[in-house]
Structures are given as C-alpha cells and as structure tokens.
Structure 1
Amino acid sequence: MATNTDVSPVLSVRDLRVQTCGRKPTEILKGISFDIYPGETVCLVGESGSGKSVTSLVTMDLLPKDELEVTGGSVLLNGENILTASGKRTRALRASTMAMIFQEPMTALNPVLPIGLQMDEVYCAHTKMRPAERKAAALAAFASVQLPDPERLYASYPHQLSGGQRQRVMIAMALALRPKLLIADEPTTALDVTTQKQILSLIRKLQAEQGTAVLFITHDMGVVVDIADRVCVMRRGSLEESGPVLDVLSRPQKDYTKDLLHAVPSLSPRAARRAGDRKPVLEVKGLHKRFEMRSALSKLLGRPGHNVHAVRDVQFELLRGRTLGIVGESGSGKSTVARCVLRLEDPSDGHIVVNGQDIARLRHNRELAKARMSVQMVFQDPNRSLNPRLRIVESMIEGPLNTGEARESAVARAGELLETVGLPRNSLDRFPHQFSGGQRQRIAIARALMMNPDVIVADEAVSALDVSIQAQVLELLADIQSRRNLALLFITHDLRVAAQICDEIMVMQRGQVVEYGAASDIFRTPREQYTRDLINAAPGRDWDFQRGQRFVEESS
C-alpha cells in the first residue's frame, strides 16, 4: 500500500538507543528511526545480532531489564510513549492495542494447558466477558484463522497440533482483541512452504480487514517480496537503508544490502554435477515405519492403539560425492526417513544398506554403534545438539573416545577439523554460548566429521540461519563434500536451498514418495501437481534477487 502521510503512524520509533547493562556496556541499537502506518507492513531484515528482535522487545516493553536498557529515543504507539509508560499501562496495551507473534509457538504456548484455556486468559485479562461469551469469542477467533474443528481444538493441548496449527493459534491470540499494531518475529521460519504461504496470506487478509499495522521481522528475503510495503535493513544496531520494498530490492544503495540480496539462493537449479562412483554408499529399499498411538487410558486398560503409517515403501540410493534432497510439507515423513537411516528409529520393514551392510537388521548395540560411525547427522538447532555445560572439545571427542581412540589423538583431530570448518583451534576450550548460531553449526559439522563418516544426514541444518550465514555454511558443506567425497542426505523445506545444493530430489507427501529424479528435472519440469504446488508456494519465487528484477515482466 502507499503510505498516507495525512494519517498519523501507528508506531513511530525515533533515535532509539539500547545498550547492555554492566561495567562495560555495549550499544545494541544505535539510534534507529522508522514509522508504520495503518494497514502497512514494514519488514526489518538483517543478519543475526543486527538488533531486529531487540527493537520488537522494546516496543512490547518486554526487554529484560537486568540485561538491556534503553538509553535514548522514543517509541510512540498511537502517540503514547511506551518508554515512559508504567508497567501496568504497557500490560494493558499488550493484546488490546499491540500484540506479538513469536517465532516458536511451542515456547510461547503453555504445554500443560489446553489451547482453549490459554485463549481464555486473553479475554480474562483484557475484557469483562462472561465465561460463555469468552468461549464463543475464542471459537470465532479460531475459525477466523481457518483452524479446522474449533470445538475439538479448544480442548486440545499444543503437542496435539501441527506446527502450522500452533502458529495459527498464536495469530488468533494476537489478533483476538483487534490490536492496532501486530509484531511478527520470524513467524514462518520453521514452517514448510505451503503452510508458510497460508500463514502469510492469512496475515494479509486479517490486516486488510482490520487495518492493522504490521512490523514483520524476518531473514527470508522471499517473504519480504511477498508481504512488505517498506523494508528497513539493519546491521549491527544501525539502520543501513530503508524505503519501498521494490526500490530497495531493485536498487539497493548500500553494499551490505547488495551482499544480503546476492546471498539469497536462486530457485533455478544449479548445473548438474557429473556422477563419480556408480556404486551407492546408501541404499534404502521398501522402507516402512509405523507408529502405534495409544492414549494413557488405553495403556492402563491394556487396550490396543491404532497404527500411524509414517513412511510407506520409500526407496532411493545415494552415491559418494552426491547430494540427495528430501523435500515436502511438515508430516510428510522426511525426518522419519532420516531417523530410520540413522537407526534412531527402528524401521518396521525394508532394507537400509550402508556400504553393502543392511543395518536395518542389526539389533546388538555394539554392531549398531559400529554401523552408525558411517552415517552421522547434523541437526537443525545446534543449541540443542551441543551440551551447554561442556566445552567444545569434550563434545567433539565424545564419539571417538567411545570407539576406543586415544584422547590425545582425538583432541588433535578435533583442532584440525575446527580449522577445516573455518574456526580457530583455540575454540576447543570455549562453551557453545560463546559462539554465534552460524559458528555453532560449523562446530556441529566438525563433530559429525570426527567419526570419518561416508554419509552425512543434514536435517534442516540451515533453516534457522540468516541468508549470509546460510550461504557460508552451504559453501562449507559443498567444499567438505568435494574434498572428502562424502554423500549428503539433505532434508529441507527451503526449495531455494534444495535447488542450489542437491543433485537429486525426492518429494514426499504423507509418508510416500511423490516424485524422484534429477534436481534440474524436478524444478524445471515437475511431473506431479503436488510438486508444482510446492514450487509455486515458495516465497518470492518470481523475483531474481541477483539482478533485482522479476523473472517475468508484466505485460504493458
């Protein structure tokens, strides 16, 4: 929408400055300023640590007082300065006038309370509705965000919902009292492309109906193209440049903005690599995985549960030096296949052949431990895969020590591998919290390499990283793969990443393989409608970020 300067902004941030508390304060925000008008969406973009989320926390008066403090500026919400308002006043403003959708709904929702009760708290805190009125309002709010069967969902717990449904619940809570300002902090980062498209469309629809001003924080430039009216590019606490979204994307003024845009992977697949060794290092044949679902009452009474067929008859092969990407919506079975390949889940049926050995049949712990050395995993979140209480050296040498390698030898190799992934050897003595997200993922890759694997399984290994760090990690993986002739099984919901790193693509839906073939064929001439729907749902799919223009120009 075009900004109407005759209308007052819903949010006006002026010369906002924030610094850390303590004896040696560090400035986090360095005098940033921007406005958001009714019905307008402003996107804050930039690398991790640029100050995007701190800006949102200041606006919501959620800044951790013992860690960060505001040292200057103003934040005006409908003309009222949030920085000078009392805690009681800002609590009243939250939900009624401003609201926030957080990145991870499982950390924002209480896991031990039904969804309906959590929604009820919103109305209890800010209205004088009676219980029946509150429930009716909650059901209407759930219906407005297109959640199926609101009555059933009202009584459900967060873990009983899908990721997309949980995020819709968060949107319903945020918009329940029709706030004038909605802050969305990376609300679609962990969602697959079709769910992401639905959430973005939903936010736009509700915004149009209610005239809400939206502050959208993201590192996904495709999302910026699809949802933003204006964009503010942040770097190290400063505002590098801002303006209408198409102006910034097509004619960036700052080198930093240009670098961010050039780091966005293209949806056009890379040139196919020549196949090397034709003998597969990993073969999966007729893989099935069924889970028996039983309630606590059924278990107590000894009643049988019902089976959920998570993976059905999956088969593929992976050659040395090649990358196979597995893509599909949440719940399609991607991660279950990966966990079966690693034998973190026992397959119900089928064969998993690694270097000629069928590890699906192994049951003895010692045999499994030996087989797992050939297949290692890099998880999505290094914060959860690295023990925060252990120094990096202890996390890296744990596997080799368990297989009998001498400590001195393992420590020496750990130092070498850290240098291989671009970190100094002295990083061994530090703790995980002393590194950035991208550095922690490099450590996770080095730890996987400690076991000298033939196959690395990367499960959403770059989805939580901003575009520039993501590009560095992908380049690192490609370099290590080339030098060590590794096979890479890459699981992702980001089709841009899949197009740039994968040689073959396997598309999954509801536990089954829908389409399987060369990445160039899948992206250029998909045979199945489901695959076409996935590609069409990719955010910013019609925008060429390297050239700053649309792929298909509109006819005059």
Structure 2
Amino acid sequence: MQFKSRNFDASPVALTAENLTVTLPDTAGQPQVLNNIDITIRQGETVCLVGESGSGKSVTSLAIMGLLPEALQVTQGRINLEGRDLLPLTQVQMRELRAARVAMIFQEPMTALNPVLRVGDQIMEVMELHTELSAAERRARAIAIMEQVHLPDVPRIFRSYPHQLSGGQRQRIMIAMALVLEPVLLIADEPTTALDVTTQKQILSLIAELQRVHGTAVLFITHDMGVVAEIADTVYVMRRGEIAEHGPVEQLLRQPRAEYTRELLTAVPSLSPRAPRPAGDEAVLQVTDLNKIYGGGGLLRKLPETHAAKDVNFTLHRSRTLGIVGESGSGKSTVARCIMRLIDPSSGQILLDGKDIASLGRNALKPHRKKLQVVFQDPMRSLNPRWKVADSLIEGPLNYGTSRREALAEAGRMLEFVGLPEGSLRRYPHQFSGGQRQRIAIARAVMMRPDVLVADEAVSALDVSVQAQVLSLLDQLQQELGIAIVFITHDLRVAAQICDDVIVMQQGVVVEQGSAAEVLVHPRHDYTRTLIEAAPGRKWDFQNFREMTEVNHADPA
C-alpha cells in the first residue's frame, strides 16, 4: 500500500498539547484520565488518535475544545492553538474561538444537529454568531460550502430538516458547518463509525479534499486501523490515558514498537475469508420470495411504493453463519426484522424448523419466539437501564415457564460462558464497558437456547480488539451449541471473519450470493466489487502483518 508520505516539518504548527493532564475527583478511584499527553499537529497535516474505548481519545478532544464536563479538570499542561494557550481562556473567549478557529465533527450528527431547525439555517447560524456578514452573504456562503461537500440538490437540502436526510448527508452538513469559517484545526471524533463502507469512503475523501483546499489541520479520532492506514500522516496510539507510541503512519504500521500497537493491528479483521464450516443436514431457516413494501397508501394522494426487500431467497443450516451485507438502505436490516417478525413481511415464506411463521398472529407466534433471538448494535438501548443484569437475563426463561431459581442458576453459567464473573448479575448495564454490555446481550439471547441468532450490526460500534473478542465468542457459541447465525453488517472485513455464506443486497434486491470465499474473493457483481474497493485500509495487508507477528513471537524452540 502507498502511504501518505508528506513532510510537515517546515509547516507552521497549528496546535500543541504539552504535558496535558486531566483528573477526576480523588474519590473516583482512578483520578487521572489523561497523563502528560504531548501532541503536535501542523498545518495541512492529518493526525490520527487511536485506541480502545476509555483510552482518553475523546477526553483529549474535549479538552482542546474547552468542553470537558465539570467533573474533569485540567490540572497540568498547556494547549496552544496558533501559539495561544487555550486553558486560561474564559468560556466566552472559547465560544468565540469555536467554529472560527477550531471546529469539531461528532460521531452521530442526528444528536449534534437541531431537529427543529432547517439545516441551511443551522449553517447560517454559525456565521451569524461569528461574523458580521449580512443575511444574503451568509446564505450565499452556506450554499457554497454545501456545494463544496458535494451535497445533491442543494436548494432542497438547504430547506430540509435533519430527519429528512440520510446519515451520510447529515454528516456532510456537519462538515459544512465545521468548515464554513475555515478554522485552523478540525477535530473529527469517530465521524464515520456508523456509516457503511461506501459512504465512509466518500466522507474520508471529502475531508481530505477540503483539507487540501483550506489547508486545515485535522485531528481524526478513530478505533479503526483501516481508516488510519487510509488517511493518516502521523499516528498517536493512546492507552489508559497515555501515549503508548507515535510516529509517521508507515513507520507505525510496518514497525510498531509498542506491544499494545501490535495487539491493535493483529485484531483488525482481514478481508480473507475464514475456512467454511461443514453444512449440517438440517435447514433451520428457509426464506422464500420474501417481500417488504412500504407506502402506496395516503389520505389525500397515493404515495409511491418502496420495495425495501424484493424476492429474497436463502436457506440457513444449523451451525452455519449467513452474512447479509450492503449499504444503508440496501434492505439488510429489513430482512432481519422480517425474519424476527418485528415487522410483517408483505409476502413470502419464512420457514423456521419447517413451520411458516411469516403470517402467524401474535399468540400463534409466541411458541416460536424462543427459537429466534436477536442481538442489536447498541446493547445500552436494548438492555433495561433500571434492571440488574440478572433480571434482564432471566426475563425470557421466566416467560416460558422456567422457575426463577433455575433461571438464575443458568444466568450465572451463561455469564461465565461469555467471560464475565457471576457477580455481574447484581450490577446495572451502565456499570459495564460497551464490549461487556454486548456480551451480556449475547448471553441474554443464548439463554433461550435459540435455533437461530440474528446479529444486527452487533460489533460495528466496538473497538477492534473488543470486536475480535465478540466475534470469537459468537464462533465459540456456534461450535458448542450448534446455533445458526444471520449476521447483518456493512463491514466486509467482519463478514469475512465470521460468515460461511454471504448475501449482497442493493436497494432491496439480492445482487449476489454464495460462499464467503466466492463472493469476497471472486465477486461477480459490480456492486460487490464497489463495496470491497471501499473497505478502508483494504490495500494494507493486516492478515500478512498478523502472520508475520505470529512468526516473530513464536517460541524459538
């Protein structure tokens, strides 16, 4: 892979953080959140800050922006923006700097944008707060920056509300708001994590293009080493509030010095598919001519119909994993929700252990529910925050007649199986990390001993090392319990590591399907090839790095 090789030694320094230390109150048990952080970002340079959740990446960005929560305090160090120390500034002075000299793009634009204001007005609001431009001038500049971020039909989108736009379009609006005043520094905090690979590639290319035009320094926060390989000039690896190592991207990826960096790199899933499992004789799930159509109704006028899923067919055998991949809006989650009967299919058959459940009513469906379980992307939203873990785990078995004593005993065994201590039963979801919560969600699903487990983007929000652990756990569960898995993902590298067979969907239609090796190694359809080409860091061979690392760390004997 050809890495970026620009030399920034002669470029002006945009930002430095020197000996930056951030602490919690002494009563917190782990008072230091950041410990003597040193970072330098030069004009036009892209610096990637990488590490697992809790490493201090986002705290670093919030400290730079002056947005730390009250519980966190900077107790040591300096943050210099263009030579000006930001730490002594008042909140009024920091508000004047934000957007004008330093701007930020957040991971989830839907929570960062005002839902009741049109997006054009939100871009103009930034200029109204920081410039003396007239209303006409603000509107002209807003339209110009929207065109720069390659939004289609700018007049329409200018008048739109956030909920009327796609995820990629909302993220482009956030980028437009951040760059409309041409700040010296842009901080991007996981801006592509929730996006599919093609939209992610477009956003990454857009940031790089605008950076060249405006000469902006970029601090890009991510846990995706593929993204790092794609865009970084310099990389800082963070662990437990400290810098584990830093250096030019090529040096760090080819010859990492820190063991922690090597662990992050070896955890990155490869696009090389795993060896397929033998197919069992028993077909546990068979989907035939599945259709889901939205629209067509309306009180005053007939609305156009949308085929969210059109004539979908597949068969899933016990102990096998079927991946359904595609962009946002491709129909993959629609298929999953139809299988789960969270929504009603418009037509078609869904045979679960030979029984068609596609049109069963609520009462008739209940005996079959335990055979189908689901793990969603965000366990914090699917676990009841007011219930202890024990209550969440035993709810399903209790509903199907298991005694409380037996259910609690099984919950303890299941937690141990997913790698959590039995004492976790007495704790609440917020007391766990994201990876631990996902293990709890998996344990809850497997408590029912299902025949089919539907995993809907179940690892997309996790760090690469935690992601690898959860994928390994699913593989172990499948081997020991014979569960069949439907795995929904937009990450083809993840699909390669866990799927035996793959379905590729585009606009509700299956455009290609077959074994993972056939689809991912020898794709026949142009759309599949587009998805593979869009995978970040695709040309950097993480699999080869992993094999070299295993050889170098092998026992000399």
Task: Pick the TM interval, shorter chain.
Answer: over 0.9
Asked if 1:327 is matched to 2:332, the reply is: no
Partner of 1:286: 289
Q: How does 1:111-510 map to 2 (within 5 A)?
A: 111-275=115-279, 277-292=280-295, 299=299, 302-363=300-361, 365-510=362-507
Matched residue type, 2:292: K
Mark the runs of 5 or more structure 2 residues left unpaired by the alignment.
549-557
Partner of 1:6: 10
| Partner Cα separation in structure 1 for residue 522 and residue 449 of structure 2 | 37
Q: How does 1:538-549 map to 2 (within 5 A)?
A: 538-548=535-545
Partner of 1:49: 54
Flag the 1:117–1:451 CA change in 2: closer, same or farther, 3 A: same
Q: Is the 8 A contact 1:16 1:75 kept in 2?
A: yes
TM-score when scaled to structure 1?
0.95
SS of corresponding position for 1:464: coil
| Distance apart, 1:404 and its partner CA | 2.4
| Partner Cα separation in structure 2 for residue 23 and residue 422 of structure 1 | 29
| Partner Cα separation in structure 1 for residue 15 and residue 112 of structure 2 | 24
SS of corresponding position for 1:361: coil
Mark the runs of 5 or more structure 1 residues left unpaired by the alignment.
552-556
| Partner Cα separation in structure 2 for residue 458 and residue 324 of structure 1 | 10
Deviations 1:216-271 (A, max 9, x none): 00011110011000100000001000000010000010111111101111111112
| Partner Cα separation in structure 2 for residue 215 and residue 79 of structure 1 | 17
| Distance apart, 1:546 and its partner CA | 4.5
Partner of 2:102: 98
| Partner Cα separation in structure 2 for residue 536 and residue 449 of structure 1 | 35
Deviating more after overlay: 423-432 vs 22-31? 22-31
| Partner Cα separation in structure 1 for residue 306 and residue 486 of structure 2 | 25
Identical pairs, percent: 60
Matched residue type, 1:399: G
| Partner Cα separation in structure 1 for residue 277 and residue 397 of structure 2 | 33
| Partner Cα separation in structure 2 for residue 175 and residue 227 of structure 1 | 18
SS of corresponding position for 1:360: coil
Q: What's the RMSD between the two structures over aligned residues?
A: 1.5
Flag the 1:529–1:550 CA change in 2: closer, same or farther, 3 A: farther
Flag the 1:22–1:118 CA change in 2: closer, same or farther, 3 A: farther
TM-score when scaled to structure 2?
0.95
SS of corresponding position for 2:514: strand
| Partner Cα separation in structure 1 for residue 546 and residue 216 of structure 2 | 29
Flag the 1:270–1:549 CA change in 2: closer, same or farther, 3 A: closer
| Distance apart, 1:548 and its partner CA | 4.0
Deviating more after overlay: 443-452 vs 113-122? 113-122
| Distance apart, 1:304 and its partner CA | 3.5
| Partner Cα separation in structure 2 for residue 521 and residue 178 of structure 1 | 47
| Partner Cα separation in structure 2 for residue 346 and residue 414 of structure 1 | 32
Matched residue type, 1:269: P
Deviations 1:502-544 (A, max 9, x none): 0000000000000000000111111111111110110111112
| Distance apart, 1:37 and its partner CA | 0.4
| Partner Cα separation in structure 2 for residue 426 and residue 535 of structure 1 | 43
Matched residue type, 2:352: V
Q: Is the 8 A contact 1:543 1:549 kept in 2?
A: no
Q: Is the 8 A contact 1:250 1:549 kept in 2?
A: no
Matched residue type, 1:60: M
Q: Is the 8 A contact 2:277 2:319 kept in 1?
A: no
Matched residue type, 2:11: V
Deviations 1:402-442 (A, max 9, x none): 22222222111111111110001111110001000000000
Deviations 1:304-360 (A, max 9, x none): 433211110001110000000000111000100000000001000100110001000
